[in-house]
Structure 1
Amino acid sequence: MQHGKIIKVSGPLVVAKGIENARLFDTVLVSDLELLGEIIEVTDDEAAIQVYEETSGIKLGEKVVSQYRPLSIELGPGILSSMLDGIGRDLQEFALQEGYYLTRGAKITTLSTTQSWYFHPIAKIGQHVVAGDYLGYVMENKFKHYIMVPEGITGTVNWIADGDYTITEKIATVLDDTEQEQPVTMRQYWPIRKQRPYKRKGLPEAPLVTGQRVIDTFFPVAKGGTACIPGPFGSGKTVVQHQLAKWSNSDVVVYIGCGERGNEMTDVLYEFPELIDPKTKEPLMNKTVLIANTSNMPVAAREASIYTGMSIAEYFRDMGYDVSLMADSTSRWAEALREMSGRLEEMPGDEGYPAYLASRLAQVYERAGIVYCQGSDTREGSVTMIGAVSPAGGDLSEPVTQATLRVAKVFWALDSSLAYSRHFPAINWLESYSLYQEKIDNYMRKHINRNFAKYRKRAMALLKEEQQLQEIVQLIGKDGLSDFEILKLEIARMLREDFLQQNAFVEEDTFTSHTKQLLMLSCIMEFFAEARDALMHDHVYIADILNAESIQRIAQMKFVDENELDTIRRIIADNKEELEQIAESLKEDQIIEGI
């Protein structure tokens, strides 16, 4: 086999000459240190290689050896609750073998080849199976990790195991159409840039429950949907993604720290093992895969980390699970594309990003979705992708944000002024939108309450009108408003402070179910309706309404425990009773004055 020779080194870009049968996206081992790289451009007998490790000290003339296979991720039992780097190496095993600092050329696998797993068979001998069918499962942290027939294998089960096996040992054999036995292990490899196959895609209809009121009520994302969170530094992108990872009703969470600060991944590592998943009652870390490629790790590996995370998410999707994929942030991934494009001397696009930035982003986001999985049964699985975008200075007109908005169906616009005023989540309700709103409204009518959408529309109309009224107040003062307009301002304030604003550190407020959200919203809107009627028909003074005890009771709703929602129902009844008493007392005063 002919080895190539290095003829140019420019940061993470290495150019080699003479690689035999060089193919695009093949992995290569660069220099005597055997650094992992990937061919990203081939011209004549030269190949440009993106190296995923530090290249300082590499000399011209050193050898480059092609592996003749694309960059792939190892999939199988043991991947849950692990922490991987951008190219799939287990960082915990890395620390044990190499120490706490990244060592160039370290050969660390994704999965342990020595750990045994008890394989429970599902398929029967003589059963006809196709790619994607369940052969059996292993219990991983009380999670059913299904072992499926790999892609490209179809036939009859000839033998199947039952007992303890490692991921490299044979657990079944399938007799194919040519009467040849195909061995199957619990481990499989998948090229990270290739989308995993499925029967067909479905339409996202059910909501991804996040427990964040501004999201679930006003700007929901559907399971299998796509969302983006753009915002300036310090506006709370990472905090929102942490909340979604903690509380979303997904079966598996894949969290990608792509180019972000190391302390953010440290927070995840400390918090997730201590948090209890409300769905499984197990530590949240048991259903999480972390992929860390922080700002001090090799830049080129940022590009691979997104594809690695998506391949893992699709693997669990194919088992029939709902997966949430958090990418924090795609701006850092785009910066890696820009750096490699610049070193390749390609014609730059807007702000130096490559001209193919939008198509690369679309290729990633289109891999999300709800699908009918491969196999003989009719199971469904989904991948919901939520990507953070970090535009410089909060400029939403920059290329990464604009390219993301073209493919993402939900836009959560983070506002630095809200963040600095301690309003969390700092999602601007006047700029954000969700293209799943109509489908989610239909779901809410069927499964939660037929009035949910009605309350939401009325509340959003009040929030929009508040902005116009505030402009009038700034010009001529509050005295220029009518009593009804002053009431609208007060209700809008209650919506902002008592409904939209949440405290992530208060147990009762950090997560809110759909039922509680409905009760809270209906409480505010029913109070508005009662107060409006009292103001218009009973001639109650606006000052009496603004001083009502009901406003204080409404402010305490968010701190009601999920198991005590009758408390909110009593608040709704008490509010109506208090306003009726105010009207009655006013009538009595008027009668006395008349006498």
Structure 2
Amino acid sequence: MSNQGNIIYINGPVVKANNMEDFSVREMVMVGEKKLIGEVISLEKDIGTVQVYEETSGLKTNEKIIGTGSPLSLKLGPGIIGNIFDGIERPLSEIYSSGLKFIPEGIGLLSIDEKKLWHADILAKVGDVLKSDDIFATVQETSMVTHKIMVPPGIEGKVVSAADSGEYTICDTLAVLEDSLGKKHELKMEQEWPVRVPRPVKMRMPIEKLLVTGQRVIDIFFPIAKGGTAAIPGGFGTGKTITQHQLAKWSDADIIVYVGCGERGNEMTEVLEDFPKLRDPRTGNPLMDRTVLIANTSNMPVAAREASIYTGITIAEYFRDMGYSVAIMADSTSRWAEALREIAGRLEEMPAEEGYPAYLASRLAAFYERAGYVKNLNGTEGSVTIIGAVSPAGGDFSEPVTQSTKRIVGAFLALDRELAHARHFPSINWISSYSGYIPMLEDWFKENVAPDIVDLRAKMMRILQEEDKLMDIVKLVGEDVLPDEQRIILEIAKIIKSGYLQQNAYHPQDAYAPLSRQYKMLKIIDKLYDRASACIKKGIPLSKVKEETLFSDIIMMKYNISDDKPEIFDELSKRIDNHYDSLESMYKEGAANEG
């Protein structure tokens, strides 16, 4: 830490200093007398530019900038799961418990607890040859997560000493490796990794497994794959945050990393209050036992907001390397892009569209490209799925962040203001949304759900698309002018929208729908459509075909049929057959009598 620069310019989080020729780009530095945490972002001769991750009020020129010799890195080890961090991995609960209401300047780069004892089961033995990412110890971090202690990337060698299983802190040496050059490396529970550098993998694997969310409109209509990417764009009040909350609560990922990036403090408060109370639907354990929260609210320093996304993805990659399936929720990437824009403005960079920097699209792509289903260096398979919320100003999807994101992600779940105003949630517009993962997941759906599920989904989408076209006519001249063949499409589309796509996040029965129930519900709607259409083709009027009680019960089946009573689906199917059999029989007899 011998390198020192002198501050000559201060503009918010952007600081310039001279005597910086011995520093390197992306090096972490301590700024001023308070030793604020910063990062070198550019160097020109002896002038260096630093972005500071803390409030710079009170900072003066001629104060010193001290180099650390290493990039901005995270400390990774036991103590991450269940914790709440700020944008640069400082534990907020620990800061609060120390009696501080706000994060004070110069508090330093606090991280996971270095004094807490963890019971480590040591797997490594003297004489073992270990390579990068090999697992040499395990710690039961929570009731749901076994923390696998790995050899840091770039290190390999023979174990020359190993501790016995027992209680250790993350700073204690558990084993010592000797590499081929005779250099010894101490292996501890914790390791450090630079946030802007993707962790290495052995190979990227094909995407072919569904991230099961329990949300019908997503799982069946616009699926997200494990290792895939998805965007949830929507204007104010369309339900972006609650949709991400649902995915965090109910998805079958092993670990959830939730990044609140520049969101309002009251929204993050809701997350921080709700998550510790929630129970995991698969195990009944607290949901926080598999969750990491990163809270960087809109009133926190803007540079830390820009870093929070990288903090989240680095933690996600770390657990992926253990063989876990990780889902990262970024809420929202628009606030992150706004942080980029503000910093770029202070750096006096040439603005591009709507003032965003010209490198916006490449930064977004670099972030989303860190998703994937991979084979790790230690032979395990893991995945990182990125689901980013986008908050376009005024709900305008043509703005740069939404358009740049749309070109990158595999699933685009467009939230609709009109649906939200009509209290239809999730307000995912079935016409504007798409998923590029359907062809990749077709075999998985056929093996794990039903052989006809993909065709059934396509059929329901055709009904919704046809209804969308017919609604243009209805708005002009009314529904009565349509023939019964088209009016039945409108009626079935209503059932699909109200009875299937609409889902109540606060209803104990409807908040989560297993894939088996999602399929059976769709089969009931499909059967109703086929039988009703067949009757109309035989000349039976729609007024007779549409039996109000039957149609209403099918819409309400999402509330009335529980997972422990699947036989009710069979009863509903029999009711459909009985109704239309008697209707066809009655009209057949009537036609015979007339003849």
TM-score under structure 1 length normalisation: 0.97
Q: 1:544: which partner in 2? A: 544
Give the structure 1 partner of residue 418 of structure 2: 417
Amino acid in the other structure paired with 2:58: G
The one-letter amino acid of 1:45's match is D
Q: Which moved more, 1:316-325 or 1:442-451?
A: 442-451
2:294 is aligned, of 286, 291, 311, to: 291
**Within the alignment, does 1:198 sit opposite 2:171 as a pair?**
no
Q: Give the counterpart letter for 2:518 in structure 1.
A: Q
Aligned position for 2:250: 247
Alignment correspondent of 1:74:
75
Distance 1:457 1:20 in 2: 61
Task: Name the SS for the 2:98 alignment partner.
Answer: helix
Q: Indicate if the aligned counterparts of 2:20 and 2:43 stay in contact, CA closer than 8 A.
A: no
State the alpha-carbon separation in 1 of the partners of residues 285 and 305 from structure 2. Answer: 31
> 2-side partners of 1:2 and 1:277: how far apart?
49
Q: CA separation in 1, counterparts of 2:548 and 2:502?
A: 22
Tell me which moved more, 278-287 or 81-90. Answer: 278-287
Aligned pair partner of 2:159 in 149, 157, 160: 157
| Pairwise CA distance, 1:85 | 0.4
1:455 maps to what in 2?
A: 456
Residues 151, 187 of structure 2: 8 Å contact kept:
yes
User: What's 1:207 paired with?
Assistant: 210
Contact 2:195 2:314 in 1 (8 A): yes
Higher mean displacement: 130-139 or 440-449: 440-449
Task: Return the alpha-carbon distance in structure 1 between the equivalents of residues 574 and 274 of structure 2.
Answer: 39
User: 1:590: Cα distance to partner?
Assistant: 5.4
Aligned to 1:34: 35
C-alpha deviation, 1:471, in angstroms: 1.4
Aligned partner of residue 254 in structure 1, secondary structure: strand
Corresponding residue for residue 554 of structure 1:
554
Q: Which amino acid aligns with 1:209?
A: V
Aligned to 1:483: 484
Residues 343-362 of structure 1 aligned to structure 2 (within 5 Å): 343-362=346-365
Task: Give how far 1:594 is off.
Answer: 4.4
Q: 1:443 Cα shift?
A: 1.3
For 2:150 and 2:60, locate their aligned partners in 1 and report how far apart those are by CA, in whole Å.
45
Cα contact 1:72–1:192 (8 A) shared by 2: yes
2:485 partner amino acid: F
In 1: Cα distance, 2:162 partner to 2:284 partner: 33
Comparing 108-117 with 119-128, greater Cα deviation is found at 119-128
**Which position in structure 1 is the counterpart of 2:100?**
99
Aligned partners of 2:250 and 2:280 also within 8 Å: yes
Give the structure 2 partner of residue 473 of structure 1. 474
Summarize deviations over 1:294-341 as a string: whole Å, max 9, x none: 011111111100000000000000000000000000111111111111
Is the Cα–Cα contact under 8 Å of residues 90 and 108 in structure 1 kept in the other structure?
A: no
Question: Which 10-residue stretch deviates more, 256-265 or 118-127?
Answer: 118-127
In 1, Cα distance between equivalents of 2:173 and 2:515: 46
1:309 matched to 2:324? The reply is no
Query: 1:367 corresponds to which residue?
Result: 370
| Per-residue deviation, 1:437 | 0.9
Change (3 A) 1:64 1:179: closer
Aligned counterparts of 2:398 and 2:580: Cα–Cα separation in 1:
48
Partner residue, 2:572: 571
Looking at structure 2, the residues matched to 134 and 569 of structure 1 have their Cα atoms a distance apart, in angstroms, of: 50
Identity %: 47
CA deviation profile, 1:459-515 (whole Å, cap 9, x unmatched): 000000001111112222222111111111100010000000000010111111111
Which residue is 1:136 aligned to?
Answer: 137
Q: CA deviation at 1:548?
A: 4.5
Change over 3 Å in CA distance of 1:531–1:320 after alignment to 2: same
Task: Show CA shifts across 1:92-149 (max 9, x none).
Answer: 1111235111211112521111110110122333221101111010001122110011
C-alpha offsets along residues 397-454 of structure 1, whole Å, 9 cap, x if unaligned?
A: 1111111112111111110000010000000000111111112222111221111011
Aligned AA for 2:281?
A: P
Q: Which residue of 2 aligns with 1:5?
A: 6
The residue that corresponds to 2:147 in the other structure is 145
**Structure 2, unaligned runs of 5 or more:** none
Task: Check whether the contact 1:12–1:51 (CA below 8 A) recurs between aligned residues.
Answer: yes
- Amino acid aligned to 1:18: N
Structure 1 position 569, deviation (Å)? 2.6
Contact 2:142–2:289 (8 Å) recurs in 1? yes
CA distance, structure 2, for counterparts of residue 480 and residue 518 of structure 1: 34
Residue pairs, 1:83-98, within 5 angstroms = 83-97=84-98
Q: Residue 279 of structure 1 is aligned with which of 271, 279, 282?
A: 282
Q: 1:5 and 1:175 mapped to 2: Cα distance?
A: 41
CA contact (8 A) 2:261 2:297 kept: yes
Q: Distance in 2 between matches of 1:473 and 1:55?
A: 60
State the shift of 1:157 in Å.
2.0
Q: 1:152-202 CA distances to partner (integer Å, 9 max, x unpaired)?
A: 221122232211000000111122223443210001110000000010101
Q: 1:567 is matched by which residue type in structure 2?
A: I
1:387 counterpart = 2:409: no
Q: CA deviation at 1:588?
A: 4.5
Superposition pairs of residues 91-130 of structure 1, within 5 angstroms? 91-97=92-98, 99-107=100-108, 109-130=110-131
Distance 1:165 1:310 in 2: 27
Quote the Cα distance in structure 2 between the aligned partners of 1:66 and 1:389.
36
> Residues 85 and 305 of structure 1 are in contact (CA less than 8 Å); yes or no, is this contact kept in structure 2?
yes
Instruction: Note the C-alpha offset of 1:290.
Output: 0.4
Distance across 1 between alignment mates of 2:576 and 2:223: 29
SS of alignment partner, residue 189 of structure 1:
strand
1:48-67 CA distance string (max 9 Å, x none): 11011111121111111111
Q: Which amino acid aligns with 1:249?
A: D
The code of the aligned residue for 2:557 comes to M
AA matched with 1:38: E
2: CA distance between counterparts of 1:66 and 1:112? 24
CA deviation map 1:527-584 (0-9, x unaligned): 10011112223x3221112224321221121112222222123212221122112222
- Residue 232 of structure 1 is matched in structure 2 by 235
For 1:169 and 1:287, the matched residues in 2 are separated by 25
Residue type matched to 1:260 in 2? Answer: E
Output the CA distance in 2 between the equivalents of 1:193 and 1:419.
37
How far apart are the structure 2 equivalents of 1:199 and 1:230?
Answer: 33
Kindly report which structure 2 residues correspond to 1:421-440, keeping only aligned pairs within 5 A, or say none. Answer: 421-440=422-441
Range that drifts further, 320-329 or 341-350: 341-350
Q: Secondary structure at the match of 1:14?
A: strand
- Aligned Cα RMSD in Å? 1.4
**Which residue identity is paired with 1:68?**
G
**Amino acid of the residue matched to residue 98 of structure 2?**
Q
Report the 3-state secondary structure (helix = DSSP H, G, I; strand = E; otherwise coil) of the residue aligned with 2:253. coil
Contact 2:35 2:108 in 1 (8 A): no
Instruction: Quote the Cα distance in structure 2 between the aligned partners of 1:110 and 1:545.
Output: 66
Distance 1:90 1:108 in 2: 10
Q: When the two structures are superposed, what TM-score results if normalisation uses the length of structure 2?
A: 0.97
Deviation at 1:20, TM superposition (A): 5.0
Could you tell me whether the CA contact under 8 Å between 1:409 and 1:435 is conserved in 2?
yes
Show CA shifts across 1:66-90 (max 9, x none): 1111000110001000000001100
- Letter of the structure 2 residue corresponding to residue 551 of structure 1: F
